[in-house]
Amino acid sequence: KASRISKVQVGRFVIDMPGNNPKISNYKYEPEVNSQLGRLSVCVAKKYPALTVIDIGANVGDTIAVIKSAIEIPVIGIEGDNVSHKFLEQNTKQFQNIKLIKEFLGEKKSTIHVELEKKGWNTTLVPAEKSENTITLKTLDEVLKEHGLLTRTLKLLKIDTEGFDTIIIRGATALMQQHKPVLYFEYNKTNMDAIKEDGLATLLSLEKYGYPTVIFFDNKGRHMITTPINQHDLIKQLHHYADETDSEIAYYDVCLFHAEDGDIASAFITGEANF
């Protein structure tokens, strides 16, 4: 299947995907999948019209297509996988104001041994000391500085990296302190368990960076619940419930607004609750 290319309708655009990418079926049978990210971009841009979105784990460019379908704003797409990045380059030629960066990101700059799972369509990095495969990780803070992007209005950070999401957030503390972006990332306990990542601790630690509330979406993109981040027991229960193999909810997408953006948080929550 990987050798076949499928043309997939994503929002207002058509993008190419390798035939083994499960996103093909996702967008075919659930065309509104990920549309909340487009609505979120519109909501944030109303307050910050010079907004640039950072899309980490940009894959083949489908979430960029979702965003561009909702609003014309600049997007920084970061993807480390060779195959996905080639599709990303090709698919984003139809868009304006795109900056692509080919990197794998982590908590600190390092070279690690990994096994590569789902390679070429949803690459998952599983640290393995005995593996012959090595990759170099950089932090998001380092990459943004290297590419001279820190002067932009970086008010929305989206991450979807198969369990590395909270690891990447720990490498973005300068961004959070300087720009206080809206955070939107996948929270997949199954993937985090596979790489021994304590994502719960990182999620709860975001309170000290000024993020008072957590919005949970199920893996279908439906708004589930909004809760103060200091409700640790509730968040722990949600953490333990989701499971890709043994639960009605495989994983969550979570969204957090800085306290200074309580106005747009309220507007977004109200909109999603009524969607």
* Each residue's pLDDT tens digit, 217-264: 999 999 999 999 999 999 999 999 999 988 999 999 999 999 999 999
Average pLDDT, the chain: 93
Q: Over the stretch 27-62, which tens digit does the pLDDT of each residue have?
A: 999 999 999 999 999 999 999 999 999 999 999 999
CA proximity to 178, closest of 204, 140, 216: 140
Return the pLDDT at 72: 98
Return the pLDDT at 135: 86
How far is it, in rounded angstroms, from Cα 82 to Cα 66?
Answer: 22
Q: Could you list the beta-strand ranges (E) of the chain.
A: 5-10, 13-18, 51-56, 75-78, 98-101, 104-105, 110-117, 124-127, 134-138, 153-159, 182-187, 213-217, 223-228, 252-256
* Residue bearing tokens 């000391």: 129
Return the pLDDT at 117: 65
Return the pLDDT at 1: 66
Return the pLDDT at 55: 98
Return the pLDDT at 90: 98
How far is it, in rounded angstroms, from Cα 96 to Cα 62?
Answer: 15
Return the pLDDT at 2: 65
Q: Over the stretch 153-199, which tens digit does the pLDDT of each residue have?
A: 999 999 999 899 999 999 999 999 999 999 999 999 999 998 899 99
Better pLDDT: 243 or 275:
243
Return the pLDDT at 120: 56
First to last CA, the chain: 36
CA proximity to 214, closest of 167, 249, 182: 182
Per-residue pLDDT at 212 exceeds 90: yes
**DSSP assigned state of 97:** S
Return the pLDDT at 172: 98
Q: Over the stretch 100-132, which tens digit does the pLDDT of each residue have?
A: 999 999 999 988 877 766 665 556 676 767 777
The model carries a pTM of 0.94
Return the pLDDT at 264: 97
Q: Could you list the beta-strand ranges (E) of 12-140.
A: 13-18, 51-56, 75-78, 98-101, 104-105, 110-117, 124-127, 134-138
Crossing angle of helices 35-47 and 262-273, in 10° steps, is 150
